[in-house]
């Protein structure tokens, strides 16, 4: 009588599993949730394990507007390039420091920025 009422539950090979489709979808959902959780955990750990190399050199934090070119060079060394008479540029660890000087050769603008490593 059960087969007559619900013939669509009987498989062609004789494997009768009325909850087979449901169990398979639960297994897929658990698998997807596990993968999603694992991905989020790895993403979190990757952020925690990132090296502390994304900060400018410590000596650059001691620079202030109004310092002379000689004072700055004494603190952080010679610049990597001199793009103009009133500007010096330093590069270190993926960072770039640009100092622009006024007419009295005193630091007017100090710009630190992260640049792509070459």
CATH number of residue 80's parent domain = 3.30.1450.10
Domain membership of residue 21 (yes or no) is yes
- What is the token pair recorded at 12? 């062609």
Reduced to 3 states (helix: H, G, I; strand: E, B; else coil), residue 6 is coil
Per the CB < 8 A criterion, the answer to whether 110 and 97 are in contact is: yes
Band of the pLDDT at 22, cuts 50, 70, 90? low
Domain membership of residue 53 (yes or no) is no
Question: Does one domain contain both 32 and 72?
Answer: no
- What is the token pair recorded at 38? 């694992």
Q: Is residue 7 predicted with pLDDT exceeding 60?
A: no
pLDDT digits (tens, 9 = 90+) for 74-115: 999 998 887 777 999 999 988 999 999 999 999 999 999 998
Domain membership of residue 82 (yes or no) is yes
Percent of the chain with pLDDT over 70: 66
Question: Does one domain contain both 63 and 41?
Answer: no
Question: Does one domain contain both 42 and 69?
Answer: no
| pLDDT (0 to 100) of residue 47 | 63
DSSP state of 58: G
Q: Please give the Cα distance from 85 to 89 (Å, whole number).
A: 11
Name which of 70, 76, 84, 78 is nearest 56 in CA terms.
Answer: 76
Percent of the chain with pLDDT over 90: 36
Question: Does one domain contain both 28 and 63?
Answer: no
Domain membership of residue 44 (yes or no) is yes
**Total number of domains constituting the chain:** 2
Give the pTM: 0.53
Question: Does one domain contain both 66 and 99?
Answer: yes
User: Pairing state of beta strands 95-101 and 87-92?
Assistant: antiparallel
| pLDDT (0 to 100) of residue 80 | 85
Band of the pLDDT at 18, cuts 50, 70, 90? low
Question: Does one domain contain both 72 and 90?
Answer: yes
- 116 or 98, higher pLDDT: 98
Question: Does one domain contain both 110 and 63?
Answer: yes
Task: Give the rounded distance of the alpha carbon of 3 from its chain centre.
Answer: 60
Q: Choose the final residue of a domain: 48, 67, 83.
A: 48
Query: What average pLDDT does range 33-39 have in this prediction?
Result: 80
Q: Cα dist. 11→2, 19, 26, 106 in Å?
A: 14, 12, 20, 87
**Range of the structural domain that residue 20 is part of:** 2-48
Domain membership of residue 18 (yes or no) is yes
| pLDDT (0 to 100) of residue 44 | 72
């Amino acid at each position: 009588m059960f087969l007559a009422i619900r013939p669509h539950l009987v498989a062609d090979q004789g494997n009768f599993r009325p909850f087979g489709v449901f169990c398979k979808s639960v297994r897929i959902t658990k698998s997807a949730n596990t993968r999603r959780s694992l991905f989020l955990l790895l993403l979190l750990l990757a952020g925690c394990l990132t090296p502390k190399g994304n900060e400018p050199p410590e000596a650059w934090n001691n620079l202030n507007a109004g310092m002379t070119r000689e004072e700055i060079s004494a603190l952080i060394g010679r610049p990597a390039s001199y793009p103009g008479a009133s500007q010096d540029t330093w590069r270190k660890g993926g960072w770039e420091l640009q100092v622009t000087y006024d007419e009295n050769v005193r630091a007017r603008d100090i710009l630190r920025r992260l640049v792509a490593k070459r």
